[in-house]
Amino acid sequence: MENITQLLFTLFLIYSSAKLLGEIFERFKQSAVIGEILAGVILGPQVLNLIGTSEIFPVLAEIGVIILLFNVGLHTKVEEIMRVGKSSLVVAVLGVVFPFVLGYLYTLIIDHTTTEAMFIGAAMVATSVGITARVFADLGIIESRAARIILGAAVIDDVIGLIVLAIVTGLDKGTLSLVKIGLITLEAAAFIVFLIIVGRRIVHRVLPRVSKFRTKDAVFSLAILFCLLLSAVASYIDLAAIVGAFLAGMILSGLNLEFNLSVKTESLYNFLVPFFFVILGTWIDLSIFSQPQLLWAALIITIFAVSGKLLGCGLGALNLGSKEALIVGFGMVPRGEVGMIIASIGLRMGAITSDLYTVIIFMVMATTLMTPPILRKLVMRKPEEKPQEGEKMKPE
């Protein structure tokens, strides 16, 4: 019973600080997300240490980010992603090449091994689309062309990130083979193509039938089940779980209005999503600020991480005009879990030092924290994209 009490208080603490700081940040015309992350920094081990080590909160966070991307998917029509498919592909590929090369070269220059340089390069590759999606959703422009290109690119990015991870871990273990890389790529691509072609048809046939079930909100339950299943399968084939959640949402987007799916998801979203950003905040390691040398390296890596995505993705989206290209570029800047996972694999394998690991974590955090205010500024300059905001405020 003691446990439940503590757990409920911690739930209250996390959710209330997230909402409070989010509100304060919005009043200062900043992103609520930053407030939520800051709540995590304050509650986390670096400052007040009030969250403890329970596995519950990271799990709630994971379910939260899954619901976030599912909801984003619900607002993303397959056809519209297809229409920007070529742009997304170019954005994704260039956005991988530039940061990788910059990170790789810089690590070599500061006297590290080739393997280390490969790991740093790899950790700089994968975009974490959660932050961008949330900022776009908060601003009510999740259905804009820039958003679509970013979302499409993020999915492709994740597949490329997977391949890069296979290459760098394979390199170090000496087990790299072209066959293996080919298989991983094929598996991921087959999963996505199968879902979009076959999965979508099945869902569009099954869902309307389920609406006649006796169970209350049976369609909504089935949609959530579909999201959980695809997240699990995506995670099983080593894609990020959120890629599965996004695909599930996208496949259901055609039925969203008919069955009120995104409206029904609102309270789950409202309750669970803040946990993701708060937990993200608890992971921020402030100790780097007491090590000037490391901080210096971290700042340089961060600059390369940002300029790499800006150059690569911006270049890839240049045909949209410079303003939108800039939005796409910055939208791809935040690195997330995948970067940290690659760094932690490197650390565990002994392929990178703990100093380099700290540098990567700093880069992930810096790119995460800088994106919302910059995106907000850039988007706010484009008044013609804003009208949807009013609609988002009142879901019913």
Q: Which of 111, 153, 100 is nearest to 129 (CA)?
A: 153
62 binds its own copies (CB under 8 A): yes
- Which residues in the 319-348 window bind its own copies by CB under 8 A? 341
Alpha carbons 52 and 252: distance in angstroms, whole number: 37
48, 56, 109, 380: residue in contact with its own copies (rule CB under 8 A): 56
143 binds its own copies (CB under 8 A): no
Q: What is the DSSP letter of 127?
A: B
335 forms beta bridges with 127
* Closest approach of its own copies to the CB of residue 274, in Å: 9
* Closest approach of its own copies to the CB of residue 296, in Å: 32
Q: Which two tokens stand for residue 364?
A: 């992930």
241 binds its own copies (CB under 8 A): yes
374 binds its own copies (CB under 8 A): no
264 binds its own copies (CB under 8 A): yes
Residue tagged 């986390």 (tokens): 44
* Closest approach of its own copies to the CB of residue 80, in Å: 24
112 binds its own copies (CB under 8 A): no
Q: In the complex with its own copies, which residue's Cβ is closer, 46 or 388? A: 388
User: Which of the ranges 7-15, 145-153, 306-314, 363-371 carries the binding residues for its own copies, by CB under 8 A?
Assistant: 7-15
108 binds its own copies (CB under 8 A): no
Q: In the complex with its own copies, which residue's Cβ is closer, 26 or 143? A: 26
Maximum Cα interatomic distance, the chain, rounded to a whole number of Å: 67
Q: In the complex with its own copies, which residue's Cβ is closer, 79 or 396? A: 396
177 binds its own copies (CB under 8 A): no
Alpha carbons 230 and 192: distance in angstroms, whole number: 10
Q: Which two tokens stand for residue 108?
A: 């070599």
User: Which of the ranges 84-92, 143-151, 228-236, 247-255 carries the binding residues for its own copies, by CB under 8 A?
Assistant: 228-236
115, 185, 211, 235: residue in contact with its own copies (rule CB under 8 A): 235
Alpha carbons 187 and 185: distance in angstroms, whole number: 5
* Element at 86 (helix H, strand E): helix 85-109
236 binds its own copies (CB under 8 A): yes
User: Which of the ranges 116-124, 187-195, 248-256, 387-395 carries the binding residues for its own copies, by CB under 8 A?
Assistant: 387-395
* Closest approach of its own copies to the CB of residue 87, in Å: 30
260, 299, 347, 378: residue in contact with its own copies (rule CB under 8 A): 260
Long-range contacts made by residues 169-173, C-beta under 8 angstroms, separation at least 24?
Answer: 169/345, 169/349, 171/115, 171/118, 172/115, 172/349, 172/351, 173/349
Show Cβ contacts of residue 221 under 8 Å, excluding neighbours closer than 6 positions.
215
- Mapping DSSP to helix (H, G, I), strand (E, B) and coil, where does residue 335 land? strand
Positive or negative, the Cα torsion across 306, 141, 202, 84? negative
258 binds its own copies (CB under 8 A): no
Q: In the complex with its own copies, which residue's Cβ is closer, 5 or 293? A: 5
Which string of DSSP letters, residue by residue, matches 222-267?
HHHHHHHHHHHHHHHTTS-HHHHHHHHHHHHGGGHHHHTHHHHHHH
Report the interface residues with its own copies, using CB under 8 A: 1, 4-5, 7-9, 11-12, 15-16, 19, 22-23, 26-27, 32, 54-56, 59, 62-63, 66, 138, 213-218, 220-222, 224-225, 228-229, 231-232, 235-236, 238, 241, 260, 263-268, 270-271, 341, 392-393, 395-396
